[in-house]
Amino acid sequence: MPLMNSLRSGTAANLAIAAALFVPCVGRAELAAHYALDEAFDTSGPAAETLGANDGTLINPPDVVRGRPAPHANLGTAYDFGLSGGIDLGTAAAVRPTDRFTMTWWMRPDTLNAFDRLYESLSGTADNGSGIRIDLASSGNQARVLLRDGNGGSNTQLTHSLVLRNDGTWYFFALRYDSGVGNGTAMKLTVLENQAAATDADIAGATQSPGALGTGPINIHNQGAYIATDDPAGASPNDFGGGMDDIAIFTDGDGGGVLTDAQLAQVFNEGAIALADFRPPRSKALPRARQVVKRHRVTLS
């Protein structure tokens, strides 16, 4: 029986069932922000955030093409970003994680330029700055993560060994970070070329970590977070050109926010929303088929 019908019935049994659906799961990661990027017929409106709490603002809307083919049919549609297009996610904590988090998305590079940004929340140009930078590295064809916490003397960074191609291939990306681990495995960077389905072994085989940990929790600052660019005007020479889809950030609900390999395989196969344990608000921007969300307990690694 649908939840609303249960609530309207007023019976004690049905109310108990409805309440049970919303009992928090101990030790789960929370889907803090999710951008399905399924607004196929809207040319300038916001990038809808599935939870309804933090819609993104398009940067240079004419350079953002919606309704493009997604890496998997069950993901709806994707965005294509030109070299001056992007999304301003704002300054909410949900889109600027600091520790014990997982970030996932799909990407398809069309241009392969050094340091082109996929995600940027980094403020400052040296180790006294703070934030997260995810780009295409100095090579222009590899995924790199740079973390700074403002300590002034060190950072944590890694360039993944997988060489990216700009031949229409989609890649699954995941960043996991928990500074409490205390060594280089605090950061886990996964880049996996698209395939029909992924297993936890596939995720493990595509995951790499730096040799050392140079950061703790990342400090919050006044600068926002951006997708496919590193500034709110999209004026940088380091903007990403290509497709992106199914952007998600998981944080620590009542436990750690680092997903397991098996959970990342589920995100690969079903989309990040498969790990949500709630029903998001209905949005005209999202296809009806995407409104019903499966309930899954997320077990911590």
Q: What's the chain's average pLDDT?
A: 85
- Please give the span between the terminal C-alpha atoms of the chain, in angstroms, as a whole number: 34
Q: How many Cα atoms within 13 Å fall on the side-chain side of residue 281?
A: 10
Model confidence band, residue 231 (pLDDT cutoffs 50, 70, 90): confident
More confident residue, 283 or 210: 210
C-alpha span between 276 and 204 (Å, rounded): 22
Cβ atoms of 211 and 156 within 8 Å: the answer is no
Q: What is the pLDDT of residues 157-166, one digit of tens each?
A: 999 999 999 9
Q: What is the pLDDT of residues 198-221, one digit of tens each?
A: 999 999 999 999 999 999 999 888
Question: What pLDDT score does 14 carry?
Answer: 36
Average pLDDT over residues 94-122: 96
More confident residue, 41 or 171: 171
Average pLDDT over residues 245-253: 91
Instruction: With a cut of 90, say whether residue 10 has pLDDT above it.
Output: no
Question: What pLDDT score does 44 carry?
Answer: 84
Question: What pLDDT score does 17 carry?
Answer: 32
Phi, psi of 128, rounded to the nearest 5 degrees: -85, -5
Question: What pLDDT score does 296 carry?
Answer: 42
Could you tell me the two tokens for 8? Answer: 């309207």
Could you tell me the two tokens for 220? Answer: 């919050």
DSSP 124-166: SSSTTSEEEEEE-TTTSSS-EEEEEES-SS--EEEE-SPPP--
Model confidence band, residue 278 (pLDDT cutoffs 50, 70, 90): low
Could you tell me the two tokens for 95? Answer: 């889109």
Q: What is the pLDDT of residues 28-83, one digit of tens each?
A: 678 999 999 999 877 889 999 999 999 999 999 999 999 999 999 999 999 999 99
What percentage of the chain has pLDDT greater than the value 90?
72
Out of 2-11, 23-32, 191-200, 216-225, give the one with best mean pLDDT.
191-200
